[in-house]
Amino acid sequence: MSQVLVLVDHVDGAVRKPTTELLTIAARLGEPAAVFIGQGYDNAAATLAEYGAQKVYQVEGEGIEDYLVAPKAEALAAVVSQAGEVAAVLLASSGENKEIAGRLAVKLDSGLITDAVDVQAGENGPVTVQSVFAAAFSVTASVTKGVPVITVKPNSAEPQTVAGVTPELVSVPVTISDLARTAKVVERRAKEKGGRPELTEAAIVVSGGRGTDGNFGPVESFADALGGAVGASRAAVDAGWYPHSSQVGQTGKQVSPTLYVASGISGAIQHRAGMQTSKTIVAINKDPEAPIFELVDFGVVGDLFKVLPQATDEVLKRK
Ligand code: FAD
């Protein structure tokens, strides 16, 4: 069976959830194999086995983690050439990974598909689905040349554990080219940890817009009751009510959670561009004509300062 390579996203070996989703998708397409680059493999090993990685390629190259994306593309290309038959390379859709994927596709002379929301096995290789134009269209696509390189949005699959897997560990020595050494990491600063999940990876996102009038309290309380992340529209960010790192949309983050709750957000096209692929969309808006209602699965016409606290109480009662 052909292998499906998954680039492991991790912080010092702590494997991030999108990688477990990709291993689950990889199992549909062939034999899941993880590619681990950087320090901390010992911390990652158990998780990779738990989610069914049959093989782990551990890339070793002097100082590889000291450089930006270029060495990772070289490392993945080296793994592809060492691995034998490879059905696809999967990466979680993030800014960094999309850059790696583009460089890798050029190196492999392969086709590239980014931001897939579904990947299934097809007769001639993986078949992907992308959601475009504010979710108005779905595009089904396949790579027609080379080893398909595919980036997949977080929350596109429910991670499945697999019992009794002991991955074969394969070491891949890589020498980073001078070309890939032209940009170097000079400092890494840990992000301040709130108790909330990372916005782009969260299964639930509750966002607030101009309708909050700067009071994100009810939005945060509802997000916390559901164990979700907090997002914001650009109007809220531009007003200085919430940090830009929480902005959802065309010029902010792209999210694809299981549940997206838009409160006090009108639903401008630029906002939709960042959340249209969410599985279930709920809006709370006091204007029944707000464009966001064209997009939602459930809409509540009402004042967010009344609706959100009631919803929060209901959730907490059921806990
Ligand atoms: P508004 O459009 O002002 O909507 C506020 C809504 O809140 C209204 O529908 C109102 O009925 C409702 N409301 C008011 N009070 C209450 C209440 N008490 N309870 C319930 N509802 C209430 N926007 C983004 O979000 N993300 C982006 O990345 C982004 N990128 C952009 C890029 C470009 C190049 C441009 C030109 C614009 C971009 N925008 C982006 C801005 C976008 O066009 C909208 O201006 C913005 O999304 C509006 O934010 P909003 O929905 O919070 O505010």
pLDDT bucket at 193, cuts 50 / 70 / 90:
low
DSSP reduced 3-state for 22: helix
Nearest-CA residue for ligand 1 atom 45 is 235
- What is the identity of the amino acid at 148? P
Task: For residue 239, report the distance from its CA to the centre of ligand 1, in Å.
Answer: 11
- How do residues 33-65 score in pLDDT, each as one tens digit? 999 999 899 999 999 999 999 999 999 888 888
> Ligand 1 atom closest to Cα of 266?
9
Please report the pLDDT score of residue 189 as a whole number: 79
Task: For residue 233, report the distance from its CA to the centre of ligand 1, in Å.
Answer: 6
Nearest-CA residue for ligand 1 atom 16 is 211
Q: Which residues are annotated as a binding site?
A: 210, 233-234, 247-251, 264-271, 285
Q: Cα dist. 225→196, 204, 205, 248, 279 in Å? A: 11, 11, 12, 21, 19
Nearest-CA residue for ligand 1 atom 39 is 270
Please report the pLDDT score of residue 183 as a whole number: 87
Strands across the sheet containing 3-7: 112-116, 149-152, 86-92, 3-7, 31-37, 55-60, 168-173
Mutate which of 266, 282, 305 for ligand 1? The one with the most ligand atoms within 8 Å of its CB, which is 266
Position of tokens 């600063």? Answer: 189
Q: State the average pLDDT over residues 100-104.
A: 98
pTM for the full predicted model: 0.82
- 159: burial class by Cβ within 10 Å (0-12, 13-18, 19+)? middle
Task: Say which DSSP state 179 is in.
Answer: G
Is 205 in contact with 229 (CB distance < 8 Å)? yes
- How do residues 228-280 score in pLDDT, each as one tens digit? 999 999 999 999 999 999 999 999 999 999 999 999 999 999 999 999 889 99
